[in-house]
Amino acid sequence: MSERITTVGVVGAGTMGAGIAQVAILTGFRVLLHDPIEGALARGRSRIARSVTRAVERGHVQAEVAEEALGRLTAVTRLTEMRDAHLVVEAAPEDLVLKQRVFAELDGLADPGAILATNTSSLSVTAIAGATKRPGRVVGMHFFNPVPAMALVEVVAGQRTEPAVVEQAMEVARRLGKTPVRAKDTPGFIVNRIARHFSLEALRILGEGRIGHDQIDRVMKGSGRFRMGPFELMDLIGIDVNLAVSRSVYESFFFDPRFRPHPLQQRMVESDLLGRKTGRGFYEYPETTQT
Amino acid sequence: MTRDVLVLGQSPLAAALADLLQSAGCVVHRPPTWPGTREELDAIFTDQGRREQYLRQLGEAYGDAEVVIEAEASEWMDPELPETTLILSAALGHSAAEAAADIHARHRVVGFGALPPVQKGQVVELAATPWTEAAAMDQAAGFFRGAGLEPIVVPDGPGLVFPRILCMIINEAAFALMEGVASAEDIDTAMKLGTNYPLGPLEWADRIGLDQVLAVLEGLQAEYGDDRYRPAPLLRQLVRAGQRGRSTGKGFFSYTTL
């Protein structure tokens, strides 16, 4: 049913958009990559080219395959070029008003039969779909960072998404080499909701002032066999990014106490201790260079 | 290091610890008169005669043990133990201090935290009660090291660190399942592939025992009086129905023996 989907539009050439575009060209799709900011579009293209080159160097992809795949990537400066796409994946910043604007525009220029997918991690797919006259053809396809490495895609049906569209999204995800799961349009879907407690509860324990963050991380890795402890993970993702997601989920659940963030995390963000990207978070990263 | 160890409890944790200690060379006793169900245990403790007989048999088993591990909350720590006996109490559904308060030799009680699967090389949490003597803490650390585990001292409290955090994750997975957000399989797949959890939260709960997860959450809710710890009704429903996980053949998933 999804075989007719051969051209995928990607809106947003940031980390997620570039990652999605890369995976799509490497699995045989033709990709139209767009970003309203010209510099960002060029950077996105370079990021993809560099990433594919690294994949060839590591033997994950053959050189001829990579070259041919990059030939199927077209950077487009105007959103109107998305009219040729059978599926458009939106990977714009996590802002509802912004995404609704993008979808309203796409609705006006994309092929009437095209599926419009959003990579939103925390916003309502139903609300985004509401900005279009084709909510039945709007679906959530939530990828995980880094896209080439993470197999999961959460496929989210909005209140009015047609079941056939959900199935097509599932099928495209499989063609992209991913493992899709179906999630209802609820705050945080599956992963961002359930994973909240990995950091929220760890912060509560830290906030009780009787054990250090490094000991908590040691216990979680040593007892639970998690790859990273909660505080190492927060430093990696960005303490501010983690707090923003926690706040979003907390508010979306109308302040259910389970999701209440911790003042300690707020203080860290206020003091600009954001993690690896600032050279210091819960831990120190002396080798971090400003890019 | 052939330690004589008494393991109390019928939980998956008790079984996992018994296996680990046996393979580490310990002589492990699990009381032969151990009843199979909560109801049988309750029946024994309401009958004065049976209670005395039970404690007498337990006392005989206790007498030989160098280490007594209370893997599941128990009410039978009455027998007067030799001064040298180390008592390790799982600080899961309650803090180590709460368990020690009812024990005669409370200065010999050390709280510990672990959840199945328990494997060599893993960390085990240790917590001191207000009465625990330093020598007992040292002895506990040495005992677990001898069994192949790495002890890390943490503050006392229900669930300590890892069980507390994991049970909150499992609880959220149970809420998500109950609310129809996704299927049980998809929830576990998502957490493994989307954020690299070693096990899906629901299959993990089945290994731990849903009643054990429930006990940790109830312990936290009682200790903090905070509704953030309220257990998902689905957890209570499954436990009430006897679907406690792998050990009963059914939990969030079914485990048919082939």
Residue among A248, A229, A239 at smallest CA distance from A270: A239
Decide if B198 touches A, using CB distance below 8 A.
yes
CA max distance for chain B: 56
Tell me, yes or no, if A159 comes closer than 8 A to chain B by beta carbon. Answer: no
Chain A neighbors of B166, CB-CB under 8 A: 224
How high is the pLDDT of residue B23?
Answer: 94
Do B60 and B127 lie in a common domain? yes
Task: Give the separation between CA B85 and CA B93, rounded to whole angstroms.
Answer: 23
Residue of B nearest to A200 (CA): B165
Is residue B255 situated within a structural domain?
no
- Residue-wise pLDDT tens digits, A77-99: 999 999 999 999 999 999 999 99
Please state whether B176 falls in left (phi above 0), alpha (psi between -120 and 50) or beta. alpha
Residues of B whose CB is below 8 A from A205: 161, 164-165
Neighbours of B48 (CB within 10 A): 8
Cis amide prior to B117 (ω within 30 degrees): yes
Report domain extents, chain A. Answer: 7-184, 195-278
> Same domain for B15 and B135?
yes
B193 touches chain A (CB under 8 A): yes
B181 and A189: CB-CB below 8 Å? Answer: yes
Judged by CB atoms closer than 8 Å, whether chains meet at A181 and B181 is answered as no
CA distance A5 to A31: 11
* B30 and B144 belong to one structural domain: yes
> Does B73 fall in a domain?
yes
Q: Which residue has the tokens 């650390």?
A: B141
DSSP state, A114? -
Q: Domain holding B217: CATH number?
A: 1.10.1040.50
pLDDT recorded at residue B72? 77
A46 is an active site residue: no
In this structure, CATH architecture of domain A195-278: Orthogonal Bundle (1.10)
What is the Cα–Cα distance from A160 to A166, expressed in whole angstroms?
11
Among B153, B177, B193, identify where a domain stops: B153
Residue B196 with chain A: CB contacts under 8 Å: 226-227
Are residues B148 and B166 located together in one domain of the fold? no
Say how many domains are in chain B: 2
List the single range of A112-126, A176-190, A258-272, B43-57 with lowest mean pLDDT. B43-57
How many DSSP H helices and E strands does chain B contain?
10, 7
**Res B54 pLDDT > 80:** no
* Structural domain containing residue B243: 162-248
Residue B32 clears pLDDT 60, i.e. is over it: no
Arithmetic mean of pLDDT, B159-165: 98
Domain boundary (B93, B121, B153) is at B153
From A108's Cα to the closest Cα of chain B, the distance in A is 31
Instruction: Return left, alpha or beta for A65; rule: phi > 0 is left, psi -120 to 50 is alpha, else beta.
Output: alpha
Mark whether B124 and B177 lie in a shared domain.
no
Average pLDDT of the segment spanning B73-98 = 80
B166 in the same domain as B131: no
Residues A160-180 as b/e (b if ≥16 CB within 10 A, e otherwise) read ebbeebbebbbbbbeebebbb
Residue B258 inside a domain? The answer is no
Mean pLDDT of the region B143-163: 97
**pLDDT on residue A38:** 85
The pLDDT tens digits of the residues spanning A251-273 come to 999 999 999 999 999 999 999 99
From chain B, pick out residues whose CB is under 8 angstroms from the CB of A210.
155
Number of H helices, E strands in chain A: 12, 8
Contact of B54 with B81, CB cutoff 8 Å: no
Looking at the structure, tell me whether residues B143 and B172 fall in a common domain.
Answer: no
Per the annotation, the verdict on A90 as an active-site residue is no
A12 band by pLDDT with thresholds 50, 70 and 90: very high
B177: confidence class by pLDDT, cuts 50, 70, 90: very high
C-alpha distances in Å from residue A269, one per residue of A235, A273, B202 = 11, 6, 33
Nearest Cβ partner of B190 from A181, A184, A219?
A: A181
In a 13 Å sphere around the CA of A97, the CA atoms on its Cβ side amount to 0
Last residue of one domain, picked from the residues B126, B153, B180: B153
**B253 in any annotated domain:** no
CB contact under 8 A, B182 and A225: no
Predicted pLDDT of residue B63: 67
- Mean local confidence (pLDDT), B129-143: 97
Please report whether residue B190 resides in a domain: yes
pTM of the model: 0.94
Q: Is residue B53 part of a domain?
A: yes
Of B124, B165, B196, the CB nearest to A202: B165
Three-state secondary-structure class, residue B204: helix
Query: Does B1 score more than 60 pLDDT?
Result: no
A23-40: per-residue pLDDT in tens?
999 999 999 999 999 899
Q: Where are the beta strands (DSSP E) in chain A?
A: 7-11, 30-34, 73-76, 87-90, 115-118, 138-143, 152-157, 179-184
Residue A134 to residue B128: CA distance in whole angstroms: 62
pLDDT per residue as tens digits for the range A103-159:
999 999 999 999 999 999 989 999 999 999 999 999 999 999 999 999 999 999 999
**Which of A34, A86, A142, A262 does the annotation list as catalytic?**
A142
Mean pLDDT of chain B, nearest integer: 90
Q: Is A121 a catalytic residue?
A: yes
A192 carries an active-site annotation: yes
Which superfamily, per CATH, for A7-184? NAD(P)-binding Rossmann-like Domain (3.40.50.720)
Averaged pLDDT for residues A197-222: 98
Statement to judge: residues B140 and B44 lie in one domain: yes
- The pLDDT value recorded for residue A291 is 47
Tell whether A236 lies on the interface with B, counting CB pairs under 8 A: no
Whether residue B54 is found in the same domain as residue B146: yes
Strand partners, A75: A33
**B130 and B84 within one domain:** yes
Same domain flag for B187 and B221:
yes
Distance from CA of A208 to the nearest CA of B (A): 10
Minimum-distance CB partner of A225 among B173, B198, B230: B198
Mean pLDDT for chain A overall: 96
Q: Distance from CA of residue B118 to its chain's centroid?
A: 11
> Using the beta-carbon criterion (under 8 Å), do B198 and A151 form an inter-chain contact?
no
- Same domain as B149, residue B169: no
Q: Provide the CATH number for the domain around residue B78.
A: 3.40.50.720
Residues in chain A: 291
Half-sphere exposure of B68 (CA within 13 A, CB side): 32
